Structure formats: structure tokens, C-alpha cells
Amino acid sequence: MTTPHLPKVAGINPPVTPPAQTPAPTSAASSADPLSPAAPGTSGTEGSEGAEGSGGPDGAGAPAGTGAPAGPSGTVSAAGSAALCGPLLPAPNALVQDRLAGWISDLTTLQDLTEQLTRTAGLDAALHEALRAGAALVGARRGLVTLHPATGPGHDRPVTVGFGLDHADLGHIETIPEAGRAGGARSADPGPPETGRRTRRTVAPHPEASPPQPAYGRLFDDLPPAGSRSGTAHPDIAADEALDPRHREVAARLGYGASYAVPLETEHAGRIGAAVWLYDEPAEPSERQRHLVGLYRDHATEHLARQLELAEARRTVATLREELLPSRLPRTPGIRLAVRHRTGPLGGGDWYDALPLPEGALGLTVGGVSGSGPGAVAAMGRMRASLRAYAVMEGEDPVAVLSDLELLLRLTEPSRAATAIFAYCEPPDRKVVLAGAGHCPPLIIGDHRAEFVETSLSAPLGMLACWEAPSVEIEPAPGETLLFYSDGLLHRTGQPMDRAFARLRTAAAGVPKAARRDPDAVVDHVLRTVLPQEDHGEWEGSEDVVLLAAHFD
């Protein structure tokens, strides 16, 4: 027995839907994800009714072959509409693929930026690269980073580097009052993006939790307490009346309308500084940008902390080394002295000395021990002190001085070798007796010659069981200069030794005639000519450079 059909009147739908209107094969499609395309086998071709059109009694309904259920009025329902439009909308797996592609792109960008950071040489280069990369991640053009070393003796000089800011700009920023925000409240972003919160919150200042602010700390007054990973954004500095008026004035003068600052902290060193990026117009980074710069900041801070520690260690070694060398040269009638000394980044073991000796004589020496670092510096100090003692006792015999020094080195520093040259000068007679142990020969520079002193070949100290070498006696003419130097001067040229010696001799011969009477002018000209890249600070060698000039009046 079939269900009776009521007569259809225009504008009135039948109260009971005929069975043919809800074919079973389409039920699976209607219950599927609306964004998914219709599953195979759900098309209306499976039923004979669908083959002719599955509409109502008057033929109205879904198009034939769609398999989409019709609504009470014969129109396609929501599920059916989704089934119709499914192939035109992105499927869930396409959305996931797009998101994964975005994550992979972000990770690739972070990897490239961190690799560029780790390839930098030195603290200043690392700071510039960190600022450049951070500006690219947050969409800014300028920035400023400042590092303040750990508290303690000798740690009172912060390191500040600007990106897109010159010295005048940094000077204007320095004039911003210390209290950058009235009332002392700190505005911080909500934290990691995964929290999903976009509201801003204020954190009351905690003097015990906040470390001392570094130089240019006026831009970092609003940073959160130590231990927080969030940053601080000022999206519209000109309209932020809570900021100090001087801050807004400087921002208008320099042409930046917004800023975003982050603390630089490590697990072991704590907060070592902060970085801020400046926008030309009112803006603030998105949560994605904050997340990316936060990930980059974590790696960059660890790298900067290591560079800062290394720079401090090198500075300490250099200071110790300078204290072990003469602070001033003696004044001896008939001889004028000048010296130039440049320490390598690792702190080498080269020394120089000029000491008055009995009967108006003068002892001159240049040398160096093998190795680098604090150990080499300490060994250099011991060798120099011992040489001074031997020179006072038997300075008129340079060979004896070096023989005693070789014995001391072999007994007390068996793992090291050393090169040295010692000259015994008698100014009244302009007579010089010298001996060398594996050291470079000195140069005689005058109006008519620029030549190396012919010294006999000899082994470095500590290389042979019994060291010996003959001495050489020379008589510089009035107005001539005797130039001693370390092998680091030759090595820093980056050329083979024969070419380096030729380059040094050419530089000595090219000293202007008016400058040959001034030992300071002589060493400056030679250093500038032999190492022009050093004069512009474009190259950092690993060895020390020593030039000691003695001009005979």
C-alpha cells in the first residue's frame, strides 16, 4: 500500500516527501565533510530516477546525475550545494599543505639567517648581522642593539651598534630622558603567539627583577622583567601621550613612527642587552613576525653572548700584555726611539724593549715566543724580564745574553721555542753589536741606502741542544735609522716571505726625505705602506706586529 499523494497547489509543498526524493546512495555524500569533494559512486546515475532527474513530481529539484538531495521546495540543500561546489573549494589536505609550506618557508628563512650570523667574524659584525636579520623579520628599516657586560671590574663599557642610524641619530636618541614612559608602567606584548591572546597588558615595574639598563636604555624602559620572553611595541609613538615628550620629539626628528623592542637573555648569562627596531610609519609586527623574531632572537642571543665573552677575554689578555711591555721608551743622548705595536686578536707572545745599560749604553731587543693566548703572554713576560737581567750583567756581549736566555727557556719552558734579536748600542761612537736567534734581520734606512743588516743564520732558541751564533758589528751613519721588526709584519702581508721582505725594503726606501729624521714618521710610513689594509681596519691578522726604530743623530 502506497502513501497517498495530496494534490500539489501552487506555492504549497506536499507535507510528505516521496521516497524517490531521498535516494539512499546520496546519504553518504550528504553526511560527508562539506569541503570534501563528492565521493566516488554517489552520483545520481546509480538510480533510474536520478537518470531522468530527481526532482519533485513536477520535475523540479537537483539536476540529473548530481546525487544532491533537494530541499522541501525542490531547491538543492546545503549539503547538496557543498557536494556541487566541492571540486571548486580547497580540500582540507590542501589547506594543511599550504600551512606546512608556510612553516617550511619560515624555517628555511630562519636557517639562512642563523647561518649568516654564525659566519660573522667578531662582535661588531655579529651585532650588525643580528640587527639586519631582525629588521627583515619584523619589517623595519632601522634598529639599535646594545649589550651591557656582566657587572664587575672592567665591565662598565656597554657595546652599542646602530642599523640605519648614524652617530648623529644615536646622539639624538641619547637625549631621551631615562624614564621613557610616564608612571613607570611597562607595556608588553602578550607573549608567544600560540597563546592566541592579542590584548596588551601592563606589568608593574619590579626593580629587583629588572637588570640595570644599558646605554641608550631610554628606548628600552618598557621591557618586561628579567625572565620574560615577550617584547614591547609602541605602534604609534606620535599619538602615545604616555611617552615622554622628548621621546616623541626625537622620533619625529629622526622620522620613525613606531618601535618594537625585545630583551636579549640567555639561560646562563641572564639579560645581556636589548634590541629595538624602528618603523618609518605607525605599525607593529604581527604575531607571526613576533614569533619568528623570537626564535631568531634566542639563537642570536646565545651567539652574541659567546662573542661578548670572547671579546672580553681578548681585551683582558691584551691589557695584561700591554702591562708587561714598556709603558714608555727611555731617552738616551744621541739616539731617538719610536715603537709601534699591534696585538693580534688571540694575544701573541711578541715583545720589545729598550733599556739603559751601564756606561751610557742602550740595549734594544725584539722577540717572540711560540703560541698565542694567555699562556704565550705569560711566557713572553718571563722571557723579557730574564733578558733584561742578563742584559744588565753582560749586555756588551749579545751572544752571551741570548745563550743564557736559551738555557733558561730550555729548562723552564721546554715545550716552547722563541726568536729574539738583541743589540748593544754605544751612542757616542754610533757602534752597534747585535746577535739574533732565528729572528728577522734589521733594516738600515738612510739617505743613501735602505738595506738589511747581514746577520748570520741561527736557529731559534729552544730548538737545539746547544745554541750558538756569532755577533755582528755595524756603525750607522749620522741621520740613519736602525729598524727592528717582528715576523708578524711579514706574515700579515699574506705574501711569500721573499716578496714580503722585498715589500718591506721598498717601503723603507720610500720614506720621504723630510721624514727620515723622525723615527715616528719612519715607523708610521713603513707600517702604512706594508700593511695598507691595516690602516683602514679592513683585515684582522692573527699575529702581533712590532716595529722598533732607533734614529742616530
Identify the residue whose cell numbers are 522541501: 72
Residues 6+ apart with CB under 8 A from 246: 175, 176, 177
Is 13 in contact with 73 (CB distance < 8 Å)?
yes
Residues 6+ apart with CB under 8 A from 472: 433, 434, 435, 453, 454, 455, 456
Beta bridge partners of 147: 159, 273
pLDDT per residue as tens digits for the range 210-242: 444 444 555 666 677 776 777 889 999 999 888
pLDDT of 231 reads: 86
Q: Do the domains spanning 106-317 and 325-552 agree at the CATH topology level?
A: no
Q: How confident is the model at residue 302 (pLDDT cuts 50, 70, 90)?
A: very high
With 0-12 / 13-18 / 19 or more C-beta atoms within 10 angstroms meaning exposed / middle / buried, residue 112 is exposed
DSSP tag of 26: G
Query: Which cell is 470 given?
Result: 756569532
pLDDT per residue as tens digits for the range 452-463: 998 777 889 988
CATH of 325-552, one of 3.90.226.30, 1.10.620.20, 3.60.40.10, 3.40.50.1220: 3.60.40.10
Domain spans in the chain, listed from the N-terminal domain onward? 25-85, 106-317, 325-552
Residue, of 433 and 59, whose pLDDT is higher? 433
Q: How confident is the model at residue 83 (pLDDT cuts 50, 70, 90)?
A: very low
**3 state DSSP class of 250:** helix
What are the Cα distances from residue 436, in Å, to 80, 424, 458, 469?
99, 12, 7, 8
Q: How confident is the model at residue 133 (pLDDT cuts 50, 70, 90)?
A: very high
Phi, psi of 47 (to 5 degrees): -105, 145
Element (H, E) at 342: strand 335-342
Query: Can you tell me the distance from the alpha carbon of 451 to that of 444, in angstroms, rounded to the nearest whole number?
Result: 5
pLDDT of 244 reads: 86
Position 540 pLDDT exceeds 70: no
Position 29 pLDDT exceeds 80: no
Query: Can you tell me the distance from the alpha carbon of 357 to that of 406, in angstroms, rounded to the nearest whole number?
Result: 21
pLDDT of 543 reads: 81
- Nearest partner of 437 among 413, 475, 388, 472, judged by Cα: 472
pLDDT of 404 reads: 94
Query: Can you tell me the distance from the alpha carbon of 154 to that of 427, in angstroms, rounded to the nearest whole number?
Result: 42
**Which segment of 26-35, 380-389, 417-426 scores lowest on mean pLDDT?**
26-35
Residue, of 373 and 505, whose pLDDT is higher? 505
CATH of 106-317, one of 3.30.450.40, 3.40.50.1240, 3.90.1150.170, 3.40.50.800: 3.30.450.40
